[in-house]
């Protein structure tokens, strides 16, 4: 999903797609999420679950009541930086902010998405 998004941004230049993807993976430690046994991913998802519990207790309680923890939705969000779940125009805006402010943006977007469904839980 990450490479596909990069290809949408730079459709004429595969070399640039490769270089940008590599930079994204290395500079922002995204590569650590893909390492064997996904240890870093587990930590990040656990942290996000605690952040949801702190900032959106109603959402957290509803999800726990139904046996859903952040592993069910946040893994895909974090591994693809939302490219698998949101329209490309939105993903590109998120990535613009991510490149400037880092992982904080990924967490804020996740909280915003959960906040939008808060009343329906």
Dihedral of the alpha carbons of 67, 82, 20, 26, in degrees to the nearest 10: -20
**Residues 66-109: tens digit of each pLDDT:** 999 899 999 999 999 999 999 999 999 999 999 999 999 999 99
Q: How many residues does the chain have?
A: 121
Rg (CA), the chain: 15
Q: Is residue 121 pLDDT above 90, yes or no?
A: no
Q: Is the pTM of this model over 0.85?
A: yes
Closest CA to 55 of 107, 105, 119: 107
Q: In this model, does residue 48 exceed pLDDT 90? A: yes
DSSP 78-108: HHHTTTTTS-HHHHHHHHHHHHHHTHHHHHH
Determine how many CB atoms are found less than 10 A away from the CB of residue 84: 14
User: Which percentage of the chain shows pLDDT scores above 70?
Assistant: 100
């Amino acid at each position: 999903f990450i490479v596909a998004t990069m290809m949408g941004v730079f459709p004429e230049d595969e070399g640039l797609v490769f270089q940008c993807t590599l930079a994204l993976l290395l500079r922002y430690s995204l590569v650590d999420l893909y390492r064997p046994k996904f240890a870093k991913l587990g930590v990040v998802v656990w942290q996000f679950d605690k952040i949801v519990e702190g900032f959106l207790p109603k959402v957290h309680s509803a999800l726990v009541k139904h046996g859903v923890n952040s592993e069910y939705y946040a893994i895909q969000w974090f591994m693809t930086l939302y490219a698998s779940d949101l329209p490309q125009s939105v993903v590109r805006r998120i990535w613009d902010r991510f490149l400037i402010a880092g992982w904080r943006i990924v967490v804020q977007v996740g909280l915003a998405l959960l906040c939008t469904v808060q009343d329906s839980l």
